[in-house]
Structure 1
């Protein structure tokens, strides 16, 4: 196995370990602290960004392995035709079968790694939703531990990626819009006051006609 496929295998093992960690039944407090740390840690955010780039390369390896499997199948079919329908014998058959085995192994390795990454992402999102619902239930039941910074952090968990950035930009735009509205109202009031004062001065400056 080449170096990059060995790294893909290590990544697959790490994904399996992480998946087991996610589905292990833990107390609500420990699970909430763990997911809060994951959502707030800048190191985790950088790691997620790096993993996205890594999965792009794994996707390229997966496409290449599928192409190799297809070429081996075509080569094996052409060899069988040249032999008059008989199977390929000797070292040629062993070589083709070995190439077929390695190509299929690489295809399955990359495919399962990509598939498990999607499962991890979906599992992480579902667990976050469950934790938020449990937090709301505890608030409705009047649990004092369910209120505070921990619940706010949990509500914002999972926003370290693109969705979180867009939500932050939307909040900033809403804040700027409210500021502009207040400034506009202040300017309107000042304009009204100045208009009234100007009108009053014009009335005072008008000369009175003798009757």
Structure 2
């Protein structure tokens, strides 16, 4: 295996380990801190930019390996259509080796590219899930505060209704007091008039 295909294999192993790490159930706080660090780190951003360039080269290697597989298949088909029979073991071994290496390189580059897409999508989904869970926690807190405010509003409304009832009772009591006071003054005036009338009657008799 050449050097660049060895590097592709190393990248594939790193992707597999990263994928298993992503799907491993971790504590929520640790996962949130980790993905927040990954999302905000400059080093990770530069690494992702470099990996994009590397994956472009892997795509070129994939296209080249597909082309090699196609050419080997064409050579085998051409030898069969012309009636050329491969009798020597060396020729057969060479064709089989070319076919094997070209297919191996195609599968290696293809799986590396495919797993990179899966990793990217899994990372995006996990980040969205963490953001949704944060929003849900915030909404729960706001719902609790809103229910507390609603209960306070109901309590205030009940107190206002009670205060209004007390005001009506106080107004009724005030009117009753005014009526009783007026009646008292009226009775006082009548009593004074009777007393004055009673005091004038003996003087006339004398």
- Normalising by the smaller structure, the TM-score range is 0.5 to 0.7
Q: Which residue of 2 aligns with 1:161?
A: none
CA offset at residue 89 of structure 1?
4.6
The answer to which of 133-142 and 101-110 deviates more is 133-142
Structure 1 unmatched runs, 5+:
144-211
CA offset at residue 90 of structure 1?
1.9
CA offset at residue 88 of structure 1?
5.3
Over residues 27-70 of structure 1, what are the superposed CA-to-partner deviations in whole Å (9 max), with x where a residue is unaligned? 11000000011011111010000001000100000000000000
| Residues 80 and 87, structure 1, Cα contact 8 Å, conserved in 2 | no
Distance 1:130 1:47, change over 3 A: same
Q: Which residue of 2 aligns with 1:96?
A: 95
After superposition, residues 1-211 of structure 1 pair within 5 angstroms as: 1-83=1-83, 89-142=88-141
| Residues 62 and 106, structure 1, Cα contact 8 Å, conserved in 2 | yes
- Report how many aligned residue pairs link the two structures: 142
1: CA distance, partners of 2:121 / 2:79 = 45
CA offset at residue 87 of structure 1?
5.8
Distance 1:96 1:134, change over 3 A: same
* Normalised TM-score (structure 2): 0.66
Distance 1:87 1:22, change over 3 A: same
Task: Please provide the CA RMSD for this pair.
Answer: 1.5
Point out the structure with max Rg over C-alpha: 2
* Normalised TM-score (structure 1): 0.64
1: CA distance, partners of 2:140 / 2:71 = 63
Structure 2 unmatched runs, 5+:
143-206
Over residues 151-188 of structure 1, what are the superposed CA-to-partner deviations in whole Å (9 max), with x where a residue is unaligned? xxxxxxxxxxxxxxxxxxxxxxxxxxxxxxxxxxxxxx
More helix by share: 2
| Residues 80 and 88, structure 1, Cα contact 8 Å, conserved in 2 | no
2: CA distance, partners of 1:55 / 1:138 = 38
Q: Secondary structure at the match of 1:141?
A: helix
